[in-house]
Amino acid sequence: MQKHGFSTFGIAPATAPPEREARLRHWLSIGAQGEMDWMAREPEKRASPAGLWPEAQSVIMLGLNHAPEFDPLALLENREAGALAAYAVRRDYHDVIKGRLKALAVDFVARTGAEVKVFVDTAPVLEKPLAAEAGLGWQGKHTVLVSREFGNWLFLGAIYTTLPLAPDTPETDHCGSCRRCLDICPTDAFPAPYQLDARRCIAYLTIEHKGAIAREFRAKIGNRIFGCDDCIAVCPWNKFAQGARDARLATRKDLLHRPLAEYAMLDDAAFRALFAGTPIKRTGRDRFLRNVLIGIGNSGNPALAASAGPHLDDPHPLVRGAAVWALSRLLAAEAFAGLARRHAPAEMDEHVREEWELALAELALAELTLAETGAGTA
């Protein structure tokens, strides 16, 4: 496996325990997948490899170590710089893993004559449960795969095959009483251990969610402008992981600690050029700028209002709405009201108009509360 660039592998059966599909259907029934509609398509195929491909007899699960050479939590300390998930400041892992899976599959077929199908986030496959069954690790209380050798830092790929192979022994859960991953989550995305509500997850909100981010989550997002590593990075099992040495997964150092003000200047062409080859490019400039403007609003630095102001005239309402919120957090009430008088009357999008109305109402309430507090003190 190392010949093809993988760090670890194991064998899982193609059949799935009945409770896996039941858990998946319950998760979907409460809408915890949010806008990830593909998760709800054909759950019987997602729950079981044999459901997706009846001829499958075994699943070869492969893991690629991508432990970062830096502390992701340290990126949160400078609120004027954008924090990007560790996996995102590298070449898109889909491209890296798929090429290696195909090369391995060619060798496997040549030696065995068996049929194969390869997957890396390209079909209804539950990679983490399959990896746990194959002995690569266990799903922690944050639902991410945890390895005793690689911590939380494994990219996963799967090869389904018609060849019957002896399955490996599933890894034992070693989380014990630890709940660091649950307690660190800024948005309380874990209603219980081993359960994730994606609708509250910052990774989902900043990457998958297409609309405006709910106001209740914005301040909690901080400067996380693409993904969130908190629950992963805090896990004590990471101390056993070694930094990635793979040249194709080298960290883009130019994307670490980059000022939010610089990101705010990106037009579509500049966005595509900067993030070419990374997972960030797939999210698109408008959603990314939405996240950047939320980060600017959370920066606490009024000087960054100069970076948000021009986006009140952005062509996309998603960006305009985020700019309104950011400026309401950075400017004094009088200055913000002046912007509202100039921009709000011409706004045609109902959601952006609502952002103006809510921001003005919140600032008015804050002024009233301050006045009452001052009067009471006097």
Task: Just list the catalytic residues.
Answer: 121
Nearest to 176 by CA among 236, 219, 128: 236
Q: Quote the tokens at residue 277.
A: 């080859």
**Residues 67, 244: contact at Cβ < 8 Å?**
yes
Q: Which helix (H) or strand (E) holds 138?
A: strand 138-139
Q: Which helix (H) or strand (E) holds 63?
A: strand 58-65
Nearest to 285 by CA among 257, 264, 313, 312: 264
Gap between the Cα atoms of 30 and 10, Å rounded: 32
Gap between the Cα atoms of 6 and 104, Å rounded: 10
Q: Which helix (H) or strand (E) holds 145?
A: strand 145-146
Q: What angle do CA 68, 71, 74 make, to 5 degrees?
A: 145
How many alpha carbons lie under 13 Å from residue 336 in its C-beta half-sphere?
Answer: 25
Gap between the Cα atoms of 336 and 317, Å rounded: 19
Query: Which residues partner with 158 through β-bridges?
Result: 61, 119
How long is the chain?
A: 378
